[in-house]
Amino acid sequence: MPKNPNIKKVLVIGSGPIVIGQAAEFDYAGTQACRSLKEEGIEVVLVNSNPATIMTDKDIADKVYIEPLTVKVLQQLIIEEKPDSVLPTLGGQAALNLAMELDESGFLKEQNVRLIGTTSLTIKKAEDRDEFKKTMEKINEPCAPSKVVTTVEEGVEFAKEIGYPVVLRPAYTLGGSGGGIAYNVGQLMDILANGLRLSRVGQVLVERCIAGWKEIEYEVMRDGAGNCITVCNMENIDPVGVHTGDSIVVAPSQTLGDKEYQMLRSSALNIINELKITGGCNVQYALKPDSFEYCVIEVNPRVSRSSALASKATGYPIAKVAAKIALGYTLDEIKNAITGKTYASFEPALDYCVVKIPRLPFDKFIMAKRTLTTQMKATGEVMSICTNFEGALMKAIRSLEQHVDSLMSYEFGHLTDEELMQVLHRVDDRRIFVIAEAIRRGISQDTINFITKIDLWFIDKIAILVEMEQALQKEEMTPELLAEAKRLEFPDYIIAQLSGRKEAEVKAMRIENGITAAFKMVDTCAAEFAASTPYYYSCFGSECEVEKTEGKKKVLVLGSGPIRIGQGIEFDYCSVHSTWAFKKQGYETIIVNNNPETVSTDFDIADKLYFEPLTPEDVENIVNLEKPDGAVVQFGGQTAIKLTESLMKMGVPILGTSAENVDAAEDRELFDQILEQCCIPRPAGRTVYTAEEAKAAAAELGYPVLVRPSYVLGGQGMQIAICDEEIDEFIGIINQIAQEHPILVDKYLVGKEIEVDAVCDGEDILIPGIMEHIERAGVHSGDSISVYPAQSLNKKVIRVLEEYTRKLAKSLHVIGLINIQFIVADDEVYVIEVNPRSSRTVPYISKVTGIPIVELATRVIIGETIRGMGYTPGLQPEADYIAIKMPVFSFEKLRGADISLGPEMKSTGEVLGIAKTFNEALYKAFLGAGINLPKYKNMIITVKDADKLEAVEVAKRFEKIGYRIYATRSTAKVLNEHGVHAVRTNKITQESPNIMDLILGHEIDLVIDTPTQGRDKNRDGFLIRRNAIETGVNCLTSLDTANALATSLENQEGKNLTLIDIATI
Amino acid sequence: MKAFLILEDGHVFTGTSIGADREVISEIVFNTSMTGYLEILTDPSYAGQAVVMTYPLIGNYGICYEDMESLKPWPDGYIVRELSRLPSNFRSEDSIQHFLEKHNIPGIAGIDTRALTKILREKGTMNGMITTNANYNIEEILPRLKSYTTGKVVEKVTCADKETLSGEGYKVALMDFGAKRNIARCLNERGCEVTIYPARTKAEQIIADAPDGIMLSNGPGDPKECREIIDEIKKLYQSDIPIFAICLGHQLMALANGADTHKMKYGHRGANHPVKDLDSGRVYISSQNHGYVVDAGAMDPNVAVPAFVNVNDGTNEGLKYIGKNIFTVQFHPEASPGPQDSNTLFDRFISMMEVAKNA
């Protein structure tokens, strides 16, 4: 079936900000799809509120709207742009839900716009619990006994009937929000009440618990003619009970015989046919380990995180093919871009093993519960490829960058055997390490299997790794043993540790015996056909099949690894743009990365893709083979920066800012010297190593002080201390993060925080714009609302900022990008941080100013000059628009995490509000971040004493908008004294009705709660904030944010928005 | 113990010996299926060949005897990257290591099967030797490898005696050229009474038994070697009894009707081959195992026309005989291992018999 000629202009809906459960995979899918549509001559209109994405670049779509993803905005956009079709299946659950609302309201029909890629009927059949169950019954596909309930009572009744435990799944939520397993009626009532509230349609499925069964997924494609294929199947090592996004996953399935494999494959095709899906689809199964009994757990009628993983695991470009199918093509008409010979209508055959491990945020949220459940908690993931499972697991573990490079890394040694057995029952992110320890202790594999329900095959593989640890400790080191250890992907330094050698000795012995890494190709077809796409992974004991390339200059671009808080999708944006810029300049580009969700690991971004861990040893293997002319580290975040020194030792020139200068920015003493030379003030500070020294420094500087480890990202471990006790506490925490670097103690200045990104060619600088944070200093820049252009600075201050930036860039000999954070207090400018690399604000500033910062930085790195590229050095003229970057958090997914903002970053993503006026931009930003107010016009204010007077002003503004204000005793007293009509409410500890009842009563729009300084010791405040978040109530912990929200509400209520196509900027 | 795989072109791979410790010369072919190693081992079509599994982890779910496609494994040798130390599956009754030993099949593990596959892809299927003799003399071995031919293997794999699976429905005569067990099972499940005939059975005898339909099975080797069988198939063609043929059966029917077959460079062996039904335009993913293919172009269009074509390389995957109740496919609708998408072809065969009976 050829392309449908009636499709000429398509609106693609993106997935919005990165949140837990909906991450970079949709940037990858959306980007691939948009490019695929453009390839077909389709005019593509894109809408996505997330500015850090590649898909929102003007070279990806014809028209790009970075606007809030709401029904109203989409309606306006459709009326203005008049697309003939809407493609909603590539923007995750967010896009699908929006499309459903547009369709159900009759709006699409009214506007004569069709949904392509799926129909609303299909979405309904797959997503609506009741419809889904009926559909499965009709085609004889088994589901676990279940019932859709709309009230808690109904749920309790049904659970009584089928018996506990039961699984609860709210309809239409992403990442399983609000779901969970209930083992008794109390838990059921809790989870169910929450789930009913979170579900868009107020439905929750109560289901027989099939925890402990094997969890298997199939990625299926179907075209409009009814042709179906499966791209890949995957087996979760963690049995049913852990969300697949939080599970360790292996592809293809390892413990299924052909009978089981085909049974489930046929079922998946049966389902996709019945649902009449046109495009990609993901089907999840529970398979009973001791029979052929299975249940369909879930169907996602769209491209998903699993499809991104399946695409990278097999080389099959699911999103690209899905987009072509949406246009009307059939699978046998679409070429397999990897082989260039075969067609999309075939099933990839793998000749390797793929392991995915989730990246969980518990290093950031040390208070959060680590337990893994059916609600996803991971912020990102890594993938690794090897010819054996053990090797793939080892490579994935070290790709996580969590100071864990083997199975020995968590210390469970102090536990008794009994305690260890207890820990084995815990389902959390450390489980494989506990299993390894249990094997070391001689606990039988059967016992481990009985407790964890993890298949014996996987447990035995862990045992093989443990046996190798022991062999390396005890046996004589022979070339055979070393070769086997490398086949299992033990890093050299771990082999060295275990065998009591030096790393260099191990390496020398390897080289002497020819034990070196070989690279194999991912080709979708197990070598059956010659492939033309150079996508490689390493293994040992094999022939290397990388084709030598010569002629062009080669550049190695180091990616940023898994998405984590503090290092998100923006660094992938930078890596990809840099790669494209190098390509344009005639370079051969090589990307190394291990994140399956990203655009950078798509097979056609760089000339060569190495899907590898980003450790010195792994990178060296690539360097030895490719002998690049240089490497760029400034675009891949801290992950890439960390590799600088090792790359230099390998003899690879670092392109752009040199390693010494990167060091100079991070090293307190060197940096202080530079500041002194430049006459730039910074808050007074000291470098210390112990708590005693820190306290002495604090006494000298005067509290409050900022305490942080050097060499961190996202402000990890950074705290504001107001007394000696807090210093003791914080330094204790810092030391837990295994820091070899010194600790910095700075005077904490209250002032405006300003951020500048600049390109420097060694001589001149180019500043695309100056950004100002809404929240005063002390809130991490990634968690602050950031405004471009800065609104409250006078000309003199701006000149000083420009001057300081120039001086710093020159003194640090920056070639490429530099990011500087300043504090402006009483018109005095202080420098607080300098990062000689790309930053999280680069994508948004590029988009709003129209200046391609990464491309310019890349060209500068190659040797061009700012003037030579046609730019006038210095601060560029302000753009015609105000752009406001608003952080987005995922607190509702992380039980126990404190939401209060501070120097440590907590947000997972961001949205942009862009408009001609500040107020509209602010309103759009809040709207995009999901703060869609007012609703009930009730709010709660409870602030710490120091903030009480300031809170009066905030309260007055909200009162004027029409808000009824509730406040706890002391806050209410102050408010009332100052003329605000605050209703006093009881504290949590007091009798009902108290503040908690108010929150749970579902009629509160907003809670403003400013926590006491430092780590939260105020149990009440913590409970209020957690409950607000878990009840879906907006909760602000900074009065600056509250003021900004008031501004937005005062000005925008009821007004129409002006939508802006950023491709015209 | 070390083992060596020596290829006709002089390549030598060094690995570990698995299965029986004996030397063997065979034709080396690769299969890209990721599951179904037992079904592959017990598929009689692999007689005279040594199989390389491109998927590197083999034996993960052990040996489930009920999944065997015939009574014993047939390949001359077995070549894998890694055999699982622990078989894990609720039905597993044996380990693959022991299974190979028990059936005296030699093999080699621990070699770079991808590198080997690429050689076979680039140079075409070739002969090779698996040996544990470290002192092999390559000068002496290579001429032996070059001169080795598979020979007539159908007679080695066909059943000795006629056998009947009872059923209430149509009577089907299954010509066993090395049939996979699932062919008979697919028919039997549909109610057919299936009588399995040895390959040497004369057409007259089959026709005399008056079956409602005749099923020509898959099997090993060069179809042109089966001259006697082709002669019998010519007679079956004349009989007007509905005929359905798979793989070797499909090739033999084509040869019986004046078409030609040729050896492919490296064949189709795997579970991911797309075939297009030329009638409906639908594409099915099929299980395949063949080294020879019918030259559909040489077939008189008045006798038969292509019914299926391979989407990847355009080779013939099925024929529809004009004016006859005969339908043949190159791929394996019985799957085992592989996708069950084209299983409905057995229903089509049932309808063919129904139509013929009611005519």
All residues of chain A having their beta carbon less than 8 Å from the beta carbon of residue B82 are 387-388
User: Rounded distance, CA A553 to CA A436, Å?
Assistant: 45
Domain end, chosen from B147, B178, B213, is at B147
CATH architecture of A684-748: 2-Layer Sandwich (3.30)
User: What one-character-per-residue DSSP string does A709-722 give?
Assistant: ESS-STTTT-EEE-
- Put simply, the chain A residues between 494 and 553 with a CB less than 8 A from any chain B CB are 520, 525-530, 541-543, 545
CB-CB under 8 Å, B86 with A542: no
User: Rounded distance, CA A663 to CA A651, Å?
Assistant: 18
Residue A745 near residue A685 (C-beta atoms within 8 A):
yes
> Is B289 marked as a binding-site residue?
yes
Residue A54 near residue A31 (C-beta atoms within 8 A):
yes
CB-CB under 8 Å, A258 with B39: yes
> Is B147 marked as a binding-site residue?
no
Identity of the residue numbered A333: E
CB-CB under 8 Å, A350 with B88: no
Tell whether the model's pLDDT for residue A178 goes beyond 60. yes
pLDDT at A715: 58
- Residue A716 vs residues A49, A337, A362, A397: alpha-carbon distances, Å: 27, 42, 12, 21
- Residues pairing with B276 in the sheet: B283, B309
Residue B332 near residue B269 (C-beta atoms within 8 A):
no
**In the predicted model, what is the mean pLDDT of residues A388-411?**
93
Q: Global pTM? A: 0.94
Q: Are residues B170 and B306 in the same domain?
A: yes
**In the predicted model, what is the mean pLDDT of residues A319-329?**
95
- Flag the least confident range among A328-342, A708-722, B18-32, B40-54: A708-722
Residue A41 near residue A320 (C-beta atoms within 8 A):
no
Which of B14, B285, B308 is the best substitution to test chain A (most A C-beta atoms within 10 A)? Answer: B285
CATH architecture of A9-116: 3-Layer(aba) Sandwich (3.40)
- As for how many domains chain B has, the answer is 2
- Which domain CATH number covers B264? 3.40.50.880
User: Rounded distance, CA B91 to CA B68, Å?
Assistant: 13
DSSP state of A181: E
Instruction: Give tens-digit pLDDT for A27-57.
Output: 999 999 999 999 999 999 999 999 999 999 9
Distance of CA A7 to the CA centre of its chain: 33
ipTM beyond 0.95? yes
Distance from CA of B36 to the nearest CA of A (A): 5
First to last CA, chain A: 39
Q: Are residues B159 and B142 in the same domain?
A: no
Q: Quick one: pLDDT band at residue A785, thresholds 50, 70, 90?
A: very high
User: How is chain B split among helix, strand and coil, in percent rounded to 5?
Assistant: 30, 35, 40
Domain end, chosen from B121, B147, B173, is at B147
User: Rounded distance, CA A640 to CA A561, Å?
Assistant: 9
**In the predicted model, what is the mean pLDDT of residues A974-1003?**
86
- Residues pairing with A770 in the sheet: A756
Provide the domain limits for residue B44: 2-147
Contacts of A94 (CB under 8 A, 6+ apart): A13, A14, A15, A16, A22, A69, A174
**Of A568-582, A821-835, A998-1012, where does the model show the most confidence?**
A568-582
Residue indicated by tokens 């005019």: A43
Q: Quick one: pLDDT band at residue A667, thresholds 50, 70, 90?
A: confident
Mean predicted lDDT score pLDDT of chain B: 96
Tell whether the model's pLDDT for residue A1018 goes beyond 70. no
CATH architecture of A542-645: 3-Layer(aba) Sandwich (3.40)
All residues of chain B having their beta carbon less than 8 Å from the beta carbon of residue A253 are 35
Q: What are phi and psi of A979, to 5 degrees?
A: 85, 15
- Measure CB to CB from residue A347 to each of B86, B117, B285 and give the nearest one: B285
**Measured at the alpha carbon of residue A722, what is the angle toward residues A717 and A690, in degrees to the nearest 5?**
55
Contacts of A329 (CB under 8 A, 6+ apart): A1, A2, A3, A223
User: Rounded distance, CA A743 to CA A752, Å?
Assistant: 24
Tokens linked to A1044: 């900004």
Q: Tell which residue, A115, A122, A76, A111, has the closest CA to residue A99.
A: A115
- Measure CB to CB from residue A254 to each of B36, B38, B57 and give the nearest one: B57
User: Rounded distance, CA B290 to CA B261, Å?
Assistant: 12
CATH number for the region A145-209 comes to 3.30.1490.20
Hey, which residues of B are catalytic here? 247, 332, 334
Q: Are residues B251 and B302 in the same domain?
A: yes
pLDDT at A650: 96
Q: Are residues B131 and B167 in the same domain?
A: no
Smallest CA–CA distance from B61 into chain A, residue: A255
The residue that leads in pLDDT, A718 or A959, is A959
Domain end, chosen from B147, B168, B194, is at B147
- Which domain CATH number covers B128? 3.50.30.20
Q: Are residues B183 and B51 in the same domain?
A: no
Contacts of A160 (CB under 8 A, 6+ apart): none
Residue B257 near residue B324 (C-beta atoms within 8 A):
no
Q: Which helix (H) or strand (E) holds B198?
A: strand B193-198
- Residues pairing with B196 in the sheet: B163, B174
Q: Are residues B116 and B161 in the same domain?
A: no
User: Rounded distance, CA A723 to CA A520, Å?
Assistant: 57
All residues of chain B having their beta carbon less than 8 Å from the beta carbon of residue A456 are 86, 88
Write A64-67 long-range contacts (CB < 8 A, 24+). Answer: A64/A1061, A64/A1062, A64/A1063, A65/A1059, A65/A1060, A65/A1061, A65/A1062, A66/A847, A66/A912, A66/A914, A66/A1060, A66/A1062, A67/A914, A67/A924, A67/A928, A67/A1057, A67/A1059, A67/A1060
Q: Per the omega criterion (within 30 degrees of 0), is the bond before B274 cis?
A: no
Tokens linked to A449: 């299997």
All residues of chain B having their beta carbon less than 8 Å from the beta carbon of residue A542 are 112, 114-115
User: Rounded distance, CA A200 to CA A173, Å?
Assistant: 7
For A310, other C-beta atoms within 10 Å of its C-beta total: 31
Tokens linked to B16: 């570990």
**In the predicted model, what is the mean pLDDT of residues A570-596?**
97
> Is A708 marked as a binding-site residue?
yes
Instruction: Give tens-digit pLDDT for B127-173.
Output: 999 999 999 999 999 999 999 998 889 999 999 999 999 999 999 99
DSSP state of A643: T
Q: Tell which residue, A269, A320, A260, A250, has the closest CA to residue A292.
A: A260
**In the predicted model, what is the mean pLDDT of residues B1-13?**
97
- Put simply, the chain A residues between 328 and 367 with a CB less than 8 A from any chain B CB are 330-332, 341-343, 345-353
> Is B128 marked as a binding-site residue?
no
Longest CA–CA span in chain A (Å) reads: 83
Residue A662 near residue A836 (C-beta atoms within 8 A):
yes
- Residues pairing with A786 in the sheet: A773, A885
**In the predicted model, what is the mean pLDDT of residues A793-816?**
96
All residues of chain A having their beta carbon less than 8 Å from the beta carbon of residue B332 are none
Residue B299 near residue B258 (C-beta atoms within 8 A):
yes
Q: Using H for helix, E for strand and C for coil, what is the string for B232-253? A: HHHHHHHCCCCEEEECHHHHHH
CB-CB under 8 Å, B272 with A342: no
Residue A420 near residue A441 (C-beta atoms within 8 A):
yes
Q: Are residues B328 and B182 in the same domain?
A: yes
User: Rounded distance, CA A88 to CA A104, Å?
Assistant: 14
Q: Are residues B6 and B57 in the same domain?
A: yes
Q: Are residues B182 and B316 in the same domain?
A: yes
Q: Tell which residue, A46, A48, A51, has the closest CA to residue A87.
A: A46
Smallest CA–CA distance from B314 into chain A, residue: A342
Instruction: Give tens-digit pLDDT for A133-147.
Output: 899 999 999 988 888
Contacts of A1009 (CB under 8 A, 6+ apart): A900, A940, A941, A942, A943, A1021, A1024, A1025, A1028, A1035, A1036, A1037
CB-CB under 8 Å, B114 with A257: no
Q: Are residues B132 and B206 in the same domain?
A: no
CATH architecture of A933-1052: 3-Layer(aba) Sandwich (3.40)
* For chain B, percent of residues with pLDDT exceeding 90: 97
Q: Are residues B187 and B136 in the same domain?
A: no
Tell whether the model's pLDDT for residue A668 goes beyond 80. no
Q: Are residues B169 and B132 in the same domain?
A: no
Instruction: Give tens-digit pLDDT for B163-204.
Output: 999 999 999 999 999 999 999 999 999 999 999 999 999 999
**In the predicted model, what is the mean pLDDT of residues A715-721?**
72
Give yes or no on whether A356-515 and A684-748 have one common fold: no
Q: Quick one: pLDDT band at residue A1014, thresholds 50, 70, 90?
A: very low
CATH number for the region A356-515 comes to 1.10.1030.10
User: Rounded distance, CA A594 to CA A614, Å?
Assistant: 7
For A256, other C-beta atoms within 10 Å of its C-beta total: 24
Instruction: Give tens-digit pLDDT for A612-645.
Output: 999 999 999 999 999 999 999 999 998 999 999 9
Measured between CB atoms, does A388 come within 8 Å of chain B?
yes
Which of B16, B57, B113 is the best substitution to test chain A (most A C-beta atoms within 10 A)? Answer: B57
- Residue A14 vs residues A28, A40, A173: alpha-carbon distances, Å: 11, 20, 16
- Put simply, the chain A residues between 838 and 897 with a CB less than 8 A from any chain B CB are none
User: Rounded distance, CA A662 to CA A1046, Å?
Assistant: 41
Tell whether the model's pLDDT for residue A209 goes beyond 90. no
The residue that leads in pLDDT, A778 or A13, is A13
Distance from CA of A346 to the nearest CA of B (A): 5
Instruction: Give tens-digit pLDDT for B276-335.
Output: 999 999 999 999 999 999 998 889 999 999 999 999 999 999 999 999 999 999 999 999
Distance of CA B230 to the CA centre of its chain: 18
Tokens linked to B272: 């991911």
- Put simply, the chain A residues between 220 and 239 with a CB less than 8 A from any chain B CB are 225-230
Q: Which helix (H) or strand (E) holds A205?
A: strand A204-208
- Residues pairing with A674 in the sheet: none
Tell whether the model's pLDDT for residue A729 goes beyond 90. no
CB-CB under 8 Å, A455 with B88: yes
* Domain locations along chain A: 9-116, 145-209, 356-515, 542-645, 684-748, 933-1052
DSSP state of A986: B
The residue that leads in pLDDT, A464 or A687, is A464
